[in-house]
Structure 1
Amino acid sequence: MTTAESSRPRASAHRADPAQPESAASPLEATPARALGEFIRAHRERLTPQAVGLPPGPRRRTPGLRREEVAQMCGVSPTWYTWIEQGRPVSASADALARIAVALHLSRAERAYLFELAGERDPAEPTLASNDAPSALIATVGLVDAPAYVLDRQWNALAWNAHAAELFVGWLDGPPDPARERNLLRFTFTEAAARTLIVDWETRARRLVAEFRADSIRHLSDGPTRALIDALSAESEDFVRFWASQDVGEREGGTRAFDHPRQGRVVYDQITLRPAHREDLLLVVLIRA
């Protein structure tokens, strides 16, 4: 049990009796802590004693398991567990949340939602290799009648179609070569062809760094990500300048313009999608505007 889980929670203006049920806040009024508490409480109340190997016992005043029972299964104090269900400002470590998820028999989707509500990273989240992208996702790229490609968590291109190869001269063109690096950031910042191809290069490159900072926050200390940032910092003063700005932005859609060496000025609308079971990957599609 951590110090945060065993210590008494901070006091708040609302001194509710832990034995009394709390009234649910409306979705617009609920704080993140309150939303987390209501989610945990709902799943505790729908779990029967028999489901966790406990005897049904005498008549129960509340549905599902008692708070004390869940606290015992999680190895935390009943007071701490009660206060987290009530949405009080208490600290919940990733380890404590993992024990709650196991005790409440949460599904994979429910467990992921629990950690999202708490703003914590699931310690059981697998570290997936970049070269194990689902075959169906790779096949999808070839079926798209527009430039499309898949990026891994360091923004290396794992797959792309002929339309993308035709558009991204200097990055995705040329014959297949396992030794050739096809990283979007390295192309943008270290290849002269990128500054010619990408219209308003500085604005787009700055935005790209802000998007990568947001996208990589959960694995910023991973070896490959750290190595990429260090390499770009050593090779590109522009990358150093943009990275130091601390800008953060979502990788969202929008207009993308290119000055293609054969097609001239071409403009696309970008759509970026995350596969439901591989959120470390990105599927990018460019639709002719």
Structure 2
Amino acid sequence: MQTAEQRRLLGAFVRGRREAMTPVGPPRRRRTPGLRREDLADLAGIGTTWLAWVEQGRDIRPSAAMLARLADALHLSGAERDYMFALADRRDPAAPVGPAAVQAPPAIAAAVEALTWPAYGLDPAWYVCCANGAARALFVGLFDAGDQPNLLDYVFTHPAARGLLPDWRARAARILSEFRRDFGRGVTDPRVHMVVDRLCEISAEFAVEWDRQAVLPHEGGARRFDHPALGAVEYEQHTLAEVERGDFRLIFLEPTSGGKCRKAP
């Protein structure tokens, strides 16, 4: 839900961008800089009164379509457009929907490759878009189906996951609760829906947990694994969002003792 502070910031941003634009028509003496409110409203195909209310930070709920027209009329950059839609608490209809196969953003791919600790990237539908050798060795069976497995598929359907995660039921429930938060942001992405629909059909545990409607943030913390070769090992998990594409995640697991995996008691 949009807050009063978001409305105030949105109004200040729109007004600031309008005043930074070149006026329409021949030069003339004016009291205010930039483009007149009436001219911007005309360019965006919206009402002047509505635009005034936005700039004044009033408690209104402009639609995503209206905001998109305003963004186009203001000639916003990608970063400016993201900022405006975030303040309006709306999803940009021009935001990209993930294709059939999504490649890791360069920043995540480079970080995963550079890290010696287990590290991997997740796309908006929680397919593993990249992983280093340490992650491939830790997550036994994850890559059996190919180079871009789905983490939820692995957790809920692969027998190796139940053995790897000693507290499987609690861990699986938490992982799904974290995914639901991302699901809310990517609700228009058909790939995200396909993952949910498929798992609801093939996994009773997934279907039950999905119906619970639990939502949790991406939080780090201690993670224990019962690895078939290493035994019981512990890490501290860290989760970061990619700067350009906030719907991608970088996850890496820091060994909890002197740079080496510490066996849990």
Q: What TM-score range do you get, normalising by the shorter chain?
A: 0.7 to 0.9
Q: For residue 42 of structure 1, what is the amino acid of its counterpart?
A: G
Task: Please give the root-mean-square deviation of Cα atoms over the aligned residues, in Å.
Answer: 2.0
Tell me the secondary structure at the aligned position of residue 121 of structure 2.
strand
Which of the residues 34, 37, 41 maps onto 2:8?
Answer: 34
Taking a change above 3 Å as real, the CA distance of residues 131 and 104 of structure 1, as seen in their structure-2 partners, is: closer
Report the 3-state secondary structure (helix = DSSP H, G, I; strand = E; otherwise coil) of the residue aligned with 2:10: helix
Equivalences, count: 253
| Conserved? CA contact 1:215–1:250, under 8 Å | no
Q: Report percent identity of matched pairs.
A: 46
User: Does the aligned pair in 1 maintain the 2:98–2:191 contact within 8 Å?
Assistant: no
Tell me, yes or no, if structure 1 residue 106 matches structure 2 residue 86: no
Give the aligned partner of residue 61 of structure 1. 31
| Counterpart-to-counterpart distance in 1, 2:192 and 2:179 | 10
Counterpart selection for 1:156 from 120, 127, 135: 127
CA distance in 2 between partners of 1:239 and 1:227 (Å): 14
Aligned to 1:167: 138
Alignment-derived partner of residue 197 in structure 1? 164
For the residues of structure 1 that align with 2:237 and 2:6, how far apart are their CA atoms? 32
The aligned counterpart of 1:94 is 64
SS in 2 for 1:31: helix
> 2:88: which partner in 1?
118
1:267 aligns with 2:241: no
CA drift of 1:35 comes to 2.0
Q: Once the 2 structures are TM-superposed, how far is the Cα of residue 181 of structure 1 from its aligned partner?
A: 6.5
Task: Give the match for residue 13 of structure 1.
Answer: none
| Structure 2 gaps, min length 5 | 257-265
Q: Which residue does 1:228 correspond to in 2?
A: 195
Q: Deviations over 1:124-153 (max 9, x none)?
A: 112243333345643432221100111122
Output the TM-score relative to the length of structure 1. Answer: 0.81
Structure 2 residue 225 is the aligned partner of structure 1 residue 258: yes
How far the C-alpha of 1:167 sits from its partner, in A, is: 0.8
Gaps of 5+ in 1: 1-28
Q: After TM superposition, which residue ranges in structure 1, 4 or more long, deviate above 4 angstroms?
A: none
Bigger mean CA offset, 135-144 vs 31-40: 135-144
Higher Cα Rg, which structure: 1
TM-score, normalised with respect to structure 2: 0.87
